[in-house]
Amino acid sequence: MWKNNILKQFSLFTMAIVLILGAGLSVAATDSDNIVEIDRVVAIVNDDVITDSELEQRIDAILLQMRQQKASLPPRSVLKKQVLERIIINRIQLQLAAANGMRVDDETLNQTISRIAEQNGMTISEFRDVIEQDGYSFAQFRENMREEIIITRLRQRQVDSRISVSEKEVENFLINQKTQGNANDEFHLSHILIALPEGASPTQIKAAQEKAQQVLDEIRQGKNFDMEAMMVSDGQQALKGGDLGWRKAGELPTIFADVAQDMKPGEVSDLIRSPSGYHIIKLVEYRDAERHMITQTQARHILIRTDDLTTDEHAKSLLLEIKKRAVNGEDFAVLAKTYSDDTATASNGGDLGWVSKGKMVPEFEKVMLAQAPGSISDPIQTQFGWHIIEVQGRREIDDTEEFNRNKVRELIYQRKIEETNVNWLRRLRDESYVEFRL
């Protein structure tokens, strides 16, 4: 009998909590010794909720980071709005990832954190101590990292994998490069976005334009750009004062590149309209592209492959004898034609031509780059077999034109990813059910 009464009381208490949370209120359950706070719902995102404690934890973490960087702090009310929107966007992506069966197991997470620690010259234990000394929970850091990995994988699947760059796009970029400026010129930009929902009505468009124009007018009258970005921008970098960092011209969204080319450092643009809303950019700094110089090595080699009949010892011994004959005056090219198992180069006397750094396997390249012109190496082993290398010459060349051409495809690809990702996130947000309970 007593058991049924307790269960009944528990059920009524649980139901009361559910009703209170659903109303977005906070309550306290009291006894003679303590008060237990019930968390408060600040937003509903599809079939999930965001609690006040989660929001406050994120705000505190960002404030700590901003203080460490000695950045200007926006009012807490503004920060709360920006952080909540960021949590909402992340939550929507995590929900989509879960629906697609995307998970990150502990082993993968541990490997990722180990790599981060190693890159910072620390052991896992030292890395954990640094995280906790900065005021973060390491357990929470792990879960945040797990979410970041999931979101990155989701974006790779939903956005990156669907981006392609055609030869026509590369050619058009190169043709228009003179009017666009050098693709490797660099711009340091700050950015404010007044966003529009997908399929915005004329009333919404007009309201956004008026708000953006008011922000622009206030900036030109002396208001701080970075603080305005924190206060009003809907851009991903709003909490960083809209700072986009240094970007090469080819990496900038097309609508920004055309405008930035004609701006001077410190200048603020007029309103820039795009499907995502109204943009304002500020050119913080500018620097010309540097010439790209590379070192090339002219080399040739002789390869002896190993198999059931040719052991490592035999290959190495044969190459030592061939090297001795070459040093004593025999023609290296003739020896290569006679002995080399590299069918692609043997007929040309082992000639590899002028080789740039990064083109050969690491073991081969390390020895080749360490050699003086005119020298022949001792036998070295790579995945292909055993080699001796003769370095014939070395030169510095201006590779800027070829370097720029090779970068064009990458720049177009990154630009398309950024633009597509912004539109994808905006569509996800518009298609999701979000209810604020602040």
Tell whether 378 is covered by a domain.
yes
Tell whether 63 is covered by a domain.
yes
Specify whether 286 is located in the same domain as 298. Answer: no
Look at the block and give the residue holding tokens 């702090």.
73
Residues of the chain with pLDDT under 50: 1-32
pLDDT for the residue numbered 211:
95
Tell whether 278 is covered by a domain.
yes
Element containing residue 388 per DSSP (H, E): strand 385-398
Tell whether 174 is covered by a domain.
no
Specify whether 130 is located in the same domain as 262. Answer: no
- d(Cα 116, Cα 335) in Å, to the nearest integer? 49
Specify whether 65 is located in the same domain as 150. Answer: no
Classified as helix, coil or strand, 278 is strand
pLDDT for the residue numbered 131:
87
The two tokens of residue 12 are: 């009524």
pLDDT for the residue numbered 287:
83
Specify whether 275 is located in the same domain as 302. Answer: no
- d(Cα 317, Cα 322) in Å, to the nearest integer? 9
Element containing residue 177 per DSSP (H, E): helix 167-180
Specify whether 287 is located in the same domain as 408. Answer: yes
pLDDT for the residue numbered 20:
32
- d(Cα 348, Cα 329) in Å, to the nearest integer? 19
pLDDT for the residue numbered 178:
56
Look at the block and give the residue holding tokens 């306290």.
28
Tell whether 90 is covered by a domain.
no
Which CATH number do you get for residue 120?
A: 1.10.4030.10
pLDDT for the residue numbered 71:
78
Specify whether 409 is located in the same domain as 267. Answer: yes
Specify whether 202 is located in the same domain as 287. Answer: yes
Specify whether 266 is located in the same domain as 318. Answer: no
Specify whether 264 is located in the same domain as 391. Answer: no
Asked if residues 422 and 165 have their Cβ atoms less than 8 Å apart, the reply is no
Burial of 133 (0-12, 13-18, 19+ CB in 10 A): exposed
Per the structure, the complete domain to which residue 209 belongs is given by 183-291+403-428
Specify whether 339 is located in the same domain as 421. Answer: no
pLDDT for the residue numbered 253:
80
Specify whether 265 is located in the same domain as 410. Answer: yes
- d(Cα 130, Cα 128) in Å, to the nearest integer? 5
Edge-to-edge strand ranges of the sheet holding 351-356: 351-356, 293-304, 385-398, 380-382
pLDDT for the residue numbered 7:
33
Long-range own/partner contacts, residues 344-347 (CB < 8 A, 24 or more apart): 345/300, 345/301
- d(Cα 374, Cα 297) in Å, to the nearest integer? 11
Element containing residue 363 per DSSP (H, E): helix 362-370
pTM over 0.85: no
pLDDT for the residue numbered 5:
38
Overall domain count for the chain: 4
Specify whether 325 is located in the same domain as 392. Answer: yes
Strand partners, 380: 387
